[in-house]
Structure 1
Amino acid sequence: MANILFVVWRESVEALLVIGILFAWLRNAGLNQGMKYLWGGVVAGLALAGALAGAMMALESVLPDGSIEYFQLAMVLIASGLIVQMVFWMRIHGRTLKKELEGEMSQAAAKANWWGLMVVVMLAVAREGSEAVVFLYGLGLGSGSVGQTILAIVLGLALAFLTFWLLQQGGKIFSWRLFFKITEIMLLFLAASMLINGVERMIGLDWIPGLVDPLWNTSMVLDDTSRFGGVVGALTGYRAQPALTMVLVYAAYWIAVVVALKRVSAKQNKPKPAPVAAQAASQSGR
């Protein structure tokens, strides 16, 4: 259940960040009349995420027995792709997230469009909540006992509030930049784990060949069926006896991710061209 705790923790902190930015903006601007719309948007966003969870469970319950495994496989692969997409989205928009949210809030406040403000909050919270729902389903939310699942969710939420409080203190040791850097790596490993889970299922369904199965056996070092090995496997995709196909997919995944991250970093660090007016002034000064 460590993967469920991690997902709930990470997604909750991100949602709290969005709510915190908007709350601070309203308070600093003296727009207390917008607070009820802020919290209304939070409730509406959570309701939308809950509706998505209910729809997924309802869909699973009406699917024929033979189709459930295919549906779960599809959700595992979708969740893996969404995690990677979320990491890249935060890498691109993380620096300007505060500015973008405050800009949308300013436009709504200038027009006294409090319902528009509520929609902004609702969509932001619904996005985080919906991502969490898809991720948790992909991880197999109902695979463990109900008690363990509830405990993991409660602990994840509690840890998220504690983390958010610590980050808001502006400490030098635990900063937002460090938080996102560490959790970004953990999320990419989790996405790799879900991808390998999907590949493993496809090999089991004879959709793709395993090629050499197993390629090696490291059970003596770390058995992925043990409690600790299971946690490592769930968070990283480790298998003690992997098929060659799984190893090739895992390697291809990390090569693609590293190359894409380097391209994003290079684009962000690329110096922006000076405005035309500034260039003209510089040339005339010469």
Structure 2
Amino acid sequence: MGNALFIVWRESVEAILVISILYAWIGARGDGRIGVRHLWAGVGGGLVLAGVLALAMLGLSSQLAGDALELFQAAIVILAAGLITHMVLWMRAHGRYMKRELEAGLARAAENAGGLSVALLAAIAVGREGAETVLFLYGLGLEQSGVALNAMLAGAGIGFVLALLTAWLIQRGAHWLPQRVFFRASELVLLLLAAGLLVAGVERLINLEWLPPLLEPVWDSSALLDDGGTLGGIASAFAGYRSQPSLMALCAWGGYWLLVAGLGRLQRRRAA
């Protein structure tokens, strides 16, 4: 439940912030040529795009069986991990200047496309965040069933409500929740979630014999923290913890963090 709540919360906050920036820009422009109707048309289009992706994935998975289905699900889980990482790095590079860049781009596009520019930008923002959320939830849902799956869906709903509150607080300029602090704190949790998804995907490939386990298990820490228990299950879902990990899974987990550190350092050098 917690990981679904966090993902929906973070993804929704980004989309809501973009929509609120567009809404404020339309109000400040006030020339009547570009209206709120264009904004909501774009939001609706983005939601439709995300819904089409969800139906396409469900339809495709229903046509697969056996190893083909397992391979498809492993690919979705690994893709979700990659998208989370890309989102974090993109926001780290552009988040500070997002409002200024968005307004400047809008001003240029509005001269040529008018209201269509706002509709397209809203559709892209909502569609991108919605599509990423669909992929993330689908990847998480593959590990759940029954009551746990219902709890995950409930967490997604709570996450959206919290996102509305968080976006409102950020827009109001609450001193106890600055935008920079919010994004930095959530980045770490998102990267931990991505690492957990990557480990789950690698383990699916090991089960399919597409990857060798190399050594299994490397250790057994179930006496200290069993990943089948409550606390161990949380650590497993949020960070990829395994009480009896294979060497391949450990290599994937460690390699992921080395890659993130390397990309972060490269990003800082370019910014400097």
TM range (shorter): over 0.9
Q: Aligned partners of 1:242 and 1:10: how far apart in 2?
A: 29
Change (3 A) 1:141 1:176: farther
Paired position in structure 2 for 1:274: none
In structure 2, list runs of 5 or more residues that go unmatched.
Answer: none
The alignment's TM-score, normalised by the length of structure 2, stands at 0.93
What is the alpha-carbon distance in structure 2 between the residues aligned to residue 66 and residue 148 of structure 1? 28
Matching residue of 1:135: 136
- Look up the match of 2:213: 210
Partners of 2:202 and 2:67 lie apart in 1 by 18
Are 1:236 and 2:239 an aligned pair? yes
CA drift of 1:79 comes to 0.9
Match of 1:24 in 2: 24
Residue equivalent to 2:255:
252
Report the secondary structure of 2:198's partner residue.
helix
Aligned residue number for residue 94 of structure 1: 95
What 5-or-longer segments of structure 1 have no aligned partner? 271-286
Is it true that 1:168 corresponds to 2:171 in the alignment? yes
Name the CA shift for 1:212/1:64 in 2 (closer, same or farther; >3 Å).
closer
Deviations 1:209-266 (A, max 9, x none): 2222111111122111112211111010111111122112211211121121012112
Contact persistence 1:4–1:141 (CA under 8 A)? no
Output one character per residue of 1:139-166: Cα deviation in whole Å (capped at 9) or x when no partner.
2268333532331121111111111122
- For residue 74 of structure 1, what is the aligned residue in structure 2? 75
Residue 9 (structure 1) aligns with: 9
Tell me: CA distance 1:125–1:200, structure 2 relative to 1, closer, same or farther (3 Å): same
What's 2:105 paired with?
104
Over the matched positions of the two proteins, sequence identity in percent amounts to: 45
Alignment of 1:30-41 (within 5 A): 30-31=30-31, 33-41=34-42
State the Cα distance separating 1:177 from its structure 2 match. 0.3
Which deviates more from structure 2 when the two are superposed, residues 230-239 or residues 100-109?
A: 100-109
Q: Within 2, Cα distance between the matches of 1:115 and 1:181?
A: 33
User: Following the alignment from structure 1 to structure 2, what is the Cα–Cα distance between the partners of residues 42 and 61?
Assistant: 29
Q: Secondary structure at the match of 2:35?
A: helix
Name the CA shift for 1:14/1:153 in 2 (closer, same or farther; >3 Å).
same
Distance 1:72 1:189 in 2: 20
Aligned length: 269
Alignment of structure 1 residues 60-71 onto 2, 5 Å: 60-71=61-72
CA distance in 1, matches of 2:129, 2:113: 26
Output the CA distance in 1 between the equivalents of 2:235 and 2:162.
20
Larger radius of gyration: 1
The root-mean-square deviation of aligned C-alpha atoms, in Å, is 1.7
2:156 aligned to which of 132, 153, 156: 153
- TM-score of the two chains, using structure 1 as the length reference: 0.88
C-alpha distance in 1, partners of 2:105/2:37?
Answer: 17
Deviation string, structure 1 residues 40-70 (Cα, Å, up to 9, x no partner) = 1111101110111011101111123431111
* Counterpart contact for 1:142–1:149, Cα < 8 Å: no
